[in-house]
């Protein structure tokens, strides 16, 4: 379950309205990409959904329940950050288990979830290592593992690959797409990279200055961009 609805959501920082009234529905199980130039409001929108920022007005619903004033930890969503933010002194196992230990989950259930996540992410042989003994891609997988064990209604990714080199980025793109196929959980993925958007998305939301220029499948946007901004951004020949 992970249908997310934004109803006339706005966000201002001081006197500056960064997100003018915005309506958007993200269907359960969909891989949605927010794409747009730097500063257009992608991260702000994701943080509003995550609850890391409060909306200035409007409503956010998760599975038709009003989540607007629900604190981040209770929204049932998992945010995967761009920086790995792993604990260097803890093993991979402890890093992945961390959110569950904080939630005082039963030990056996923690072990079950960590093993399952490690298996999905091909980290089973690395559970006793520390982050410093892993490659960049493996560290990114540990960060994703820490999200998976929470069994969230949706995963929120904010440019998770921007710290990786080009070759690794291509591999991780594939891994995240495969993960989505396996888990069939709603994923929202923020990027300013058109190639990532076009290759990973079920649906692309093109943002410009905080408003939605167009929403559609990669093919729809490529074939029928609504305007030159979308065409230019998607790399459509129009
Ligand atoms: P993107 O992720 O697309 O690069 P952001 O969501 O980070 O864009 O930022 C959108 C706009 O909101 C930018 O103009 C940015 O300067 C502004 N902004 C973001 N966070 C804050 C904040 N905490 N205080 C003031 N302005 C902010
Ligand atoms: Mg950003």
pLDDT exceeds 90 at position 169: no
Q: Residue 14 CA: which ligand 1 atom is closest?
A: 25
Q: Residue 36 CA: which ligand 1 atom is closest?
A: 3
Kindly report the protein residue whose alpha carbon is nearest to atom 21 of ligand 1: 13
Q: What percent of the chain shows pLDDT beyond 90?
A: 78
At residue 160, the pLDDT reads 87
More confident residue, 11 or 166: 11
Per residue in 14-42, pLDDT (tens digit) is 999 999 999 999 999 999 999 999 999 99
**What global pTM score does this model have?**
0.92
Provide φ and ψ at 229, rounded to 5°: -60, -50
Q: Residue 207 CA: which ligand 1 atom is closest?
A: 3
Residues lining ligand 1, Cβ inside 6 A: 13, 18, 36, 38-44
Nearest alpha carbon to residue 51 among 154, 203, 178: 154
Q: Residue 34 CA: which ligand 1 atom is closest?
A: 3
pLDDT exceeds 90 at position 11: yes
Across the chain, what does the average pLDDT equal?
A: 93
Kindly report the protein residue whose alpha carbon is nearest to atom 10 of ligand 1: 41
pLDDT exceeds 90 at position 234: no
At residue 166, the pLDDT reads 85
Give the pLDDT band of residue 46 (cuts 50, 70, 90).
Answer: very high
Kindly report the protein residue whose alpha carbon is nearest to atom 22 of ligand 1: 13
pLDDT exceeds 80 at position 112: yes
Q: Find the ligand nearest to 34 CA.
A: 1
Q: Find the ligand nearest to 48 CA.
A: 1
pLDDT exceeds 70 at position 85: yes
More confident residue, 164 or 57: 57
Give the pLDDT band of residue 171 (cuts 50, 70, 90).
Answer: confident
**140 and 160 Cβ atoms separated by less than 8 Å:** yes
């Amino acid at each position: 379950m992970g249908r997310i609805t934004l109803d006339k959501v706005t966000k201002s920082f001081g006197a500056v309205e960064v997100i003018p009234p915005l309506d958007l529905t993200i269907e359960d199980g969909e891989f949605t990409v927010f794409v747009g130039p730097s500063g257009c409001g992608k991260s702000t929108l994701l943080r509003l959904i995550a609850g890391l920022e409060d909306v200035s007005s409007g409503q956010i619903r998760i599975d038709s329940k009003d989540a607007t004033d629900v604190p981040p930890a209770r929204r049932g969503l998992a945010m995967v950050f761009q920086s790995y933010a792993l604990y260097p002194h803890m093993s991979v196992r402890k890093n992945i288990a961390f959110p569950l230990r904080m939630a005082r989950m039963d030990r056996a259930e923690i072990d079950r979830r960590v093993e399952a996540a490690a298996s999905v992410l091909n980290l089973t042989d690395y559970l006793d290592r520390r982050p410093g003994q892993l490659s960049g891609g493996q560290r990114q997988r540990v960060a994703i593992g820490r999200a998976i064990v929470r069994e969230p209604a949706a995963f929120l990714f904010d440019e998770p690959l921007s710290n990786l080199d080009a070759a690794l980025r291509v591999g991780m793109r594939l891994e995240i797409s495969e993960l989505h196929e396996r888990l069939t959980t709603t994923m929202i993925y923020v990027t300013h990279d058109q190639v990532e958007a076009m290759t990973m998305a079920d649906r692309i939301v093109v943002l410009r200055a905080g408003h939605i220029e167009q929403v559609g499948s990669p093919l729809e946007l490529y074939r029928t961009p609504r305007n030159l901004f979308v065409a230019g951004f998607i790399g459509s020949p129009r």
